[in-house]
């Protein structure tokens, strides 16, 4: 009981004392009740050890074959009565067998085995003790260390036992020795380092601007026309706005950012709306494509904004003020009413101005996610902007009542599906939802390009700009569509997360790109001919295969980058629609989303010290930018295991605790138990915080959302750069389901595949506890030295089971 165990009582009262100090044979009724208790326990526990013996008789059977078969796969039963026939029906004396995925140990020589096991455990403790005395490359007696001082008997011919007071021992050990002092940098050395950094930074920025300015001049020299110049101007300004706005979004809100840009990218519905025709139903293939684009895009709009709202509501704290978003109905009504009045009054150029409001609202929507206090307002502003864009498009079309009915039906069906999906989706499935919504944007872009080609060939043939835009819309849409489906399959577990490593995969990607470029040349030459149609269809097929191959070649650890890249692709597909249709709104919003996804991809790659090309085309276990050319460092030593009771004791005695959650926490759904434990310890006076790595989970910001859903206040959840320096003053660092993001090889081994990757330095805490199923590698397939450090204890268990056990034990200790 002192270790946390509990006694089980049979639900049947009967005195068991017999004569001569032995128990008597119990009644049939008692034995039946006892067996019922055992059967119930077998379904719940993972390990059973039996010891029941009767002098001079065969050991009684306590665990039947059926009970063993009811245990969870991977369980273990140990029969210490095996020599007398055993307490477990399936026991084979002298052997260890596996029955129905349960290991049954029936060794009869366990006593003989104990000597070597005891020696191993004792020698492990002695080895760990010596390894803890100073750095690993030399022995250093530090009398300021309480354990070393108490263990030392003699030193330098002096008797040190019983140990003298700390000050005397310290002076005896340090007399005559020079203190090592780290050389401080001189003013000249500091200036040289700062000068080199400034030079590299300025040179990089100058090169980027050189490429950008040169591209603008080159485009102008091609004389693409006034319409292209106007669209490109809007594209550039919106892209620059998106670039600066996204940098201001707090990392904790990257998941809502992905979701809200998903909803905004649903403006592909505008492309479908302007191409509708027929009556209540489409009458041509082109019209059917357009209607399909409206349905699919409406799923994104309704589902994306609802999911964003759900996520942001999870971040609300009880002390937060009420939400007054209903006031934004005033600008929505003002815009809608004023626009409709001006349109039907025949005000010239009102349509040109009508798209400025929605575009500014979409930019402001993303800007609102820069802080928790304005995030919900940003989502509402996004709803206003997209709604205004749809209204401005629909009112300007002059369709028949039947076509307007078709439009409303398509949007209603799509929006209804989106709302149902967004309401039912679990928080742990948000990455899959985002990937699925990305695929819808890609498909909508494909359908719109197809509808323009089939239903309005004059637009395609109007200029090379329109032809190229139509082709790129089909190409980028196809890559986004199939690539997002693969991402969805990997995240949902339908497909394996391991990357596909096809022979000469780089050459395969280049070949598919070459086929697309050749098709583009054919399409530009004569876009409305049979050859042009064949080129467009070929591009759709080849690009679909390219999307499949690109994302299938990306491993599970790189899925956060894959998701952000696909988000960027969806923006470029929308942008291509804008140039194709001459629509300024789609051009601006597409550039906004394309650049925002690109910036997020860059942030994720920087968090892994990888380049974007390396992630997208590299596959698995590829080098970081800092990896050397030598062999990776071999990990030596043994790990130390612990249990729930010991960890709970450490947590209750600690003054400061930092939890490092990983994807394992999300999969096991352990966030609720961790949140409860955090509240218990915080109320107990413990300084309790969470540390989030930028690429933890399978989508940027996913773990922030999971913790918010469990009720963890966002002000105790910190990003890596904010909290890394605090581990050195932390009593316990509790790592739950994380591996690569705390791998010290990134900093200690220049030849490691993850060398230079920024990591959470959890091993610097006074005690590090890692909750993990096994000692296996993470998605990066790199061994973790942290598991074998002297200050690390491994709690090998399922995250949910361990966290629930810790919550219960911590609560019991504090309640005593």
Query: Among all residues, which ones are annotated catalytic?
Result: 663, 698, 779
CA-wise closest residue to 407 among 569, 486, 298, 516: 298
Q: What is the DSSP string of 621-658?
A: S---TT--SSPPPPP-S---B--HHHHHHHHHH-SEEE
How many C-beta neighbours within 10 Å does residue 191 have? 11
Structure-token pair, residue 582? 């001459």
Sign of CA dihedral 422, 286, 479, 361: negative
Q: Can you read off the two tokens belonging to residue 280?
A: 């209540």
CA distances from 440 to 275, 483, 699 (A): 18, 11, 18
Token code pair at residue 765 = 């805490």
Contact 487, 441 (CB under 8 A): no
**CA 461 from centre of chain:** 44
CA 411 vs. chain centroid, Å, equals 32
Report the Cα 397 to chain-centroid distance in Å: 43
In eight-state DSSP terms, residue 81 is: T
User: Which residues sit opposite 122 in a β-bridge?
Assistant: none
Residue 449 near residue 578 (C-beta atoms within 8 A):
no
Give the C-alpha separation, 481 to 274, whole Å: 22
**H runs (alpha helix) in 152-186:** 166-174
How far, CA to CA in Å, does 275 sit from each of 148, 340, 587, 779? 81, 21, 17, 45
Residue 645, Cβ density class (10 Å: 0-12 exposed, 13-18 middle, ≥19 buried): middle
CB atoms within 10 A of CB 458: 9
Provide the 10 A C-beta neighbour count for residue 193: 11
């Amino acid at each position: 009981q002192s270790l946390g165990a509990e006694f089980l009582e049979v639900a049947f009262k009967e005195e068991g004392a017999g004569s001569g100090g032995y128990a008597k044979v119990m009644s049939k009724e008692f034995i039946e009740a006892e067996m019922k208790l055992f059967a119930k326990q077998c379904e719940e526990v993972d390990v059973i050890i039996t010891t029941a013996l009767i002098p001079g008789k065969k050991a009684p059977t306590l665990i039947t074959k059926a009970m063993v078969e009811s245990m969870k796969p991977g369980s273990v039963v140990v029969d210490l009565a095996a020599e007398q026939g055993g307490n477990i029906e399936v026991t084979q004396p002298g052997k260890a067998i596996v029955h129905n995925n349960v290991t049954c140990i029936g060794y009869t020589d366990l006593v003989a085995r104990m000597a070597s096991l005891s020696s191993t455990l004792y020698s492990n403790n002695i080895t760990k003790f010596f390894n803890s005395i100073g750095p690993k490359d030399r022995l250093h007696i530090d009398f300021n260390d309480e354990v070393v001082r108490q263990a030392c008997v003699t030193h330098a011919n002096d008797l040190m036992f019983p140990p003298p007071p700390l000050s005397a021992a310290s002076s005896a050990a340090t007399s005559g020795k020079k203190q090592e002092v780290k050389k401080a940098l001189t003013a000249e050395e500091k200036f040289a380092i700062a000068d080199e950094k400034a030079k590299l930074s300025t040179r990089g920025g100058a090169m980027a601007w050189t490429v950008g300015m040169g591209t603008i001049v080159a485009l102008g020299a091609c004389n693409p026309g006034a319409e292209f110049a106007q669209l490109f101007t809007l594209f550039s300004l919106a892209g620059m706005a998106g670039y600066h706005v996204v940098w201001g979004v707090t990392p904790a809100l990257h998941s809502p950012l992905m979701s809200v840009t998903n909803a905004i990218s649903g403006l592909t519905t505008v492309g479908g709306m302007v191409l509708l025709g027929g009556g209540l139903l489409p009458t041509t293939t082109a019209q059917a494509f357009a209607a399909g684009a409206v349905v699919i895009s409406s799923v994104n709009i309704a589902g994306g904004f609802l999911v964003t709202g759900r996520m942001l509501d999870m971040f609300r704290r009880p002390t937060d003020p009420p939400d007054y978003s209903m006031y934004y109905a005033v600008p929505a009504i003002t815009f809608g009413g004023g626009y409709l009045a001006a349109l039907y009054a025949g005000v010239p150029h009102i349509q040109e101005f009508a798209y400025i409001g929605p575009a500014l609202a979409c930019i402001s929507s993303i800007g609102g996610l820069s802080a928790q206090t304005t995030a919900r307002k940003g989502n509402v502003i996004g709803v206003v902007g997209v709604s205004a864009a749809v209204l401005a498009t629909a009112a300007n079309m002059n369709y028949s009542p039947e076509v307007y009915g078709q439009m409303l039906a398509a949007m209603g069906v799509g929006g209804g599906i989106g709302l149902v999906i967004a309401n039912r989706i679990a928080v742990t499935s948000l990455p899959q939802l985002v990937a699925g919504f990305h695929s819808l944007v890609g498909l909508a872009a494909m359908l719109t390009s197809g509808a323009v080609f089939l239903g309005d060939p004059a637009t395609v043939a109007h200029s090379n700009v329109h032809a190229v835009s139509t082709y790129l819309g089909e190409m980028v849409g196809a890559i986004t569509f199939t690539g997002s489906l693969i991402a969805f399959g990997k995240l949902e577990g339908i497909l394996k997360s391991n990357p596909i490593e096809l022979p000469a995969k780089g050459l395969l990607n280049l070949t598919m790109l070459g086929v697309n470029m050749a098709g583009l040349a054919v399409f530009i030459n004569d876009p409305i001919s049979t050859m042009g149609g064949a080129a467009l269809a070929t591009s759709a097929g080849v690009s679909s295969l390219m999307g499949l191959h690109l994302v299938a070649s990306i491993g599970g650890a790189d899925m956060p980058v894959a998701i952000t890249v696909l988000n960027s692709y969806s923006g470029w597909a929308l942008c291509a629609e804008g140039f194709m249709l001459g629509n300024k709104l789609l051009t601006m919003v597409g550039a906004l989303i394309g650049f925002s996804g690109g910036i997020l991809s860059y942030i994720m790659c920087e968090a892994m010290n990888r380049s974007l090309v390396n992630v997208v085309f590299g596959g698995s276990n590829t080098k970081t930018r800092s990896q050397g050319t030598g062999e990776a460092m071999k990990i030596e030593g043994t790990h130390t295991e612990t249990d729930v009771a010991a960890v709970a004791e450490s947590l209750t005695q600690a003054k400061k605790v930092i939890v490092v959650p990983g994807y394992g926490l999300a999969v096991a759904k352990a966030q609720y138990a961790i949140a409860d434990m955090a509240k218990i310890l915080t109320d107990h006076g413990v300084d309790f915080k969470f540390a989030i790595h930028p690429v933890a989970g399978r989508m940027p910001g996913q773990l922030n959302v999971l913790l918010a859903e469990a009720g963890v206040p966002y002000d105790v959840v910190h990003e890596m750069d904010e909290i890394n320096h605090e581990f050195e003053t932390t009593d316990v660092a509790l790592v739950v389901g994380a591996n690569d993001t705390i791998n010290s090889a990134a900093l200690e081994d220049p030849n490691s595949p993850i060398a230079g990757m920024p990591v959470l330095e959890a091993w610097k805490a006074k005690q590090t506890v890692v909750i993990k199923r096994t000692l296996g590698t993470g998605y990066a397939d790199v061994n973790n030295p942290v598991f074998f450090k002297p200050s690390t204890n491994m709690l090998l268990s399922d995250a949910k089971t361990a966290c629930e056990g810790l919550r219960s034990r911590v609560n019991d200790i504090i309640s005593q």
